[in-house]
Chains A and B, each alone.
Chain A
């Protein structure tokens, strides 16, 4: 089974990613399941040629959403200031994409600017590595980061 194979190979990576962002074992385990359920739901429309990128970025996006939701609801979030700032950033690109529900369900999702910011600012990927990771050009990544940066005054595009 494709999914079982993916899980066996990548679940530890996804777990560590979730745990590093959520700082909670139970939440991280729950999030790992969510990530693989997402993949399962869209498996026949997703590009699985780079499963590590797909899973890493999906985990990143879902964890950012979880952190943002907790923060919005007044729950204490054990996150660095940078992570919290990125999680709560107003991402117009994401909001725009979210409106196109059917397209979002059945086609490849462009990565959100928040995810791109995580890869670059928190994971320390270079612009080139980030671009490769999200299938954008370097200038595309730079543009997305600048768009987000306007709202995050303390971040600078390296």
Chain B
């Protein structure tokens, strides 16, 4: 049985000559194996049809804006443009230096992952890189830093950070980020105009342990439904473990050991 990874290399022609020859012979003589190869070739075509290069191109066009330097369009035709690579690299380096200096000055402990660019104009990069920030933040509180929740709305090729009471619509795709200044327990949830509570980060109804010092992006987005009036996103934190009873949320608000940060989006255009 040829393992998947080897079959993939066979299809792309990346195996050493001897192995290519061996598998080619097997394809010619083994009907079952030949059927497997045929199915994968058909699957290749279907995948490229489903997700053509043009879709990636759209994101490539938007990519320079990740670095916040107005280079939009510099890489619009994909790779192979040495100038745009250089600019992008330079911009990245500059943004990193700026970010590192800013972080060093203001938080001393906040860790900036390579592509988050400090100010994080585009969160889809952070979705990947937040996980790569170094661990190991200690138990001490980061002076001058408060727990923070950020709400971002995906746009066609980028994302914008939403401020409190900004307008949002049904179908908007929301990404949440948070930062805490010390080791603590926390949970993220939202409540809409129908009074429905949606948990975004918790262990069932219990707060989970959070690490301080890095802006963390939840690894999934949240699409707003047709609930009217508002959607409020809450970050609750405490140095002690706590839980939520969705039938009695007031109890959580009254808990003096628990801090809360929130961002409310006003729903418009809905029912």
Contact = CB atoms under 8 A, between A and B. Distances in A.
Interface of A: 1-4, 7-13, 15-17, 20, 29, 32-34, 36-38, 40-41, 43-44, 50-53, 56, 62, 65-66, 68-70, 72-75, 90, 94-95, 98-99, 101-102, 104-106, 119, 123-125
Nearest to A99: B134
A95 B80 contact: no
Contacts of B86: 44
B43 A12 contact: yes
Contacts of B219: 66, 69-70, 73, 75
B96 interface: yes
A12 B44 contact: yes
Interface string B91-112: 0110010001000000000001
Interface string B73-95: 00101111010011011001100
Task: Give 4 closest A-B pairs by Cβ, nearest first.
Answer: A3-B79, A69-B219, A12-B44, A65-B131
Given A50-B14, A95-B134, A101 B114 contact: yes
A41 B56 CA distance: 13
11 contacts: A1-B80, A9-B12, A16-B8, A16-B47, A38-B128, A40-B75, A44-B82, A52-B14, A53-B14, A69-B130, A73-B219
Contacts of B218: 69, 73
A40 B59 CA distance: 11
A15 B131 contact: no
A73 B48 contact: no
Contacts of A74: 201-204, 208
B128 A1 contact: no
Contact of A7 (B44, B53, B93, B203): B53
Nearest to A133: B5
B133 interface: yes
Contacts, number: 136
Contacts of B78: 1-4, 40
Interface string B27-57: 0000000000000000110011011010110
Most chain B beta-carbon contacts within 10 A, residue among A33, A40, A62: A40
A43 to B, nearest CB: 5
B220 A75 contact: yes
Contact of B93 (A8, A66, A90, A102): A102
A15 B47 contact: yes
A32 B51 contact: yes
A15 B3 contact: no
Most chain A beta-carbon contacts within 10 A, residue among B8, B60, B79, B134: B79
Contacts of A94: 132
B9 interface: yes
Most chain B beta-carbon contacts within 10 A, residue among A4, A99, A119, A125: A4
B12 A52 contact: yes
B53 A4 contact: yes
A124 B130 CA distance: 29
Given A3-B79, A32-B51, A125 B89 contact: no
A51 B12 CA distance: 10
Nearest to A6: B79
A147 to B, nearest CB: 16
A62 B96 contact: no
